[in-house]
Amino acid sequence: MSLNTSSAVIKLNALTAKFNEAAKAAKPLHLQLATTVPSSGYAEDYGMLGAVPGIREWLGERKFSEMRGLNFTITNKEWEGSLLVKKTDIADDRLGLYVPKFQELGVRAANHPVKLLYSLVNAAESTACFDGQYFFDTDHSWGDSGSQSNDLSYAAATGTTPTVAEFKGAYNGAIEALSGFVDDQGEYINQEVLDESASLIVMVPFTYYQTALDALTTRLGATGGDNVVINRPLIIPTVRMTSSTVLDVYKVDEPLKPFIWQTREPIRTSRKGMTDDEEKYVKFMSTARYNMGYGAWWTAVRTTFT
């Protein structure tokens, strides 16, 4: 069946618009946790990223510092999502049935990088980042930094189920660690973590959600006293964390965020089969090319309750 008519084209354009509108309206989590890096090729090398020098009084000659380099590559991957539209449904004006599916596919396309993000989160204690250590590790070291840990533990009295006070204690320990990280020049690397302008994200499994709310957002404690949290983080509970005993704290107001969102080709759409008499369907296709990887480990701390 051939659909070489302006009416059919208009109808299919309307469906494509529904896909595009839904994709554009999505607010995926990875945009908060990852630095967006445009890509111009098959892969990008991050010859990382020793710190920039500190600011010093200009006495005598300028002092130039060379950034330390390490090999770290993120390779772009191609992704697709496709639907079949029955030609008789186009001819019979039955495309209203397809609108929710096109919208759902648009949302899924826009949020697919979030799936990649959680894959990185779940593998972060067993996958190397740019310095050759696991992203969450106990012995990050570069240049003059000494050994530093962003993989902490906290002993809860009842094992892996922390009280509100214990959760808040673990959170404060993570904040202290974030505040103390130094770069390869021995300079403190994070801007003030407890400044009111700092942006913090707490990611927890759903088992800790209510405890996190009580510890970090409730104005009054269980006994009626003030529950003072200087900088209230955004709390993200998720069923996608494979560990049920961890608290992740991310600082997301630094130029280089915990993860890297590498974009090569944005979502694009195409159609095929409208004028092919051998085909009963029009093929709707969406394609994109991108990938995600680990970024600044020093903007992230994981605490495991033991």
Higher pLDDT, 57 or 1: 57
Give the angle 176-179-183 at the CA atoms, nearest 5°.
Answer: 135
Look at 25-29, 32-36, 124-128, 188-192 and tell me which has the smallest mean pLDDT. 188-192
Is 149 exposed, middle or buried (CB count within 10 Å of its CB: 0-12, 13-18, 19+)? middle
Percent of all residues in the chain with a pLDDT value above 90, rounded to a whole number: 69
pLDDT confidence of residue 45: 85
Confidence of residue 293 (pLDDT cuts 50, 70, 90): very high
| Structural contact between residues 241 and 206, judged by C-beta atoms closer than 8 angstroms | no
Look at 50-54, 87-91, 107-111, 163-167 and tell me which has the smallest mean pLDDT. 50-54
pLDDT confidence of residue 197: 55
Determine the average pLDDT of the residues in 83-87: 94
- Alpha-carbon distance of 65 to 262, in angstroms, equals 28
Q: Is the pLDDT of residue 224 over 80?
A: no
pLDDT confidence of residue 4: 62
Determine the average pLDDT of the residues in 45-64: 63
- Alpha-carbon distance of 120 to 127, in angstroms, equals 8
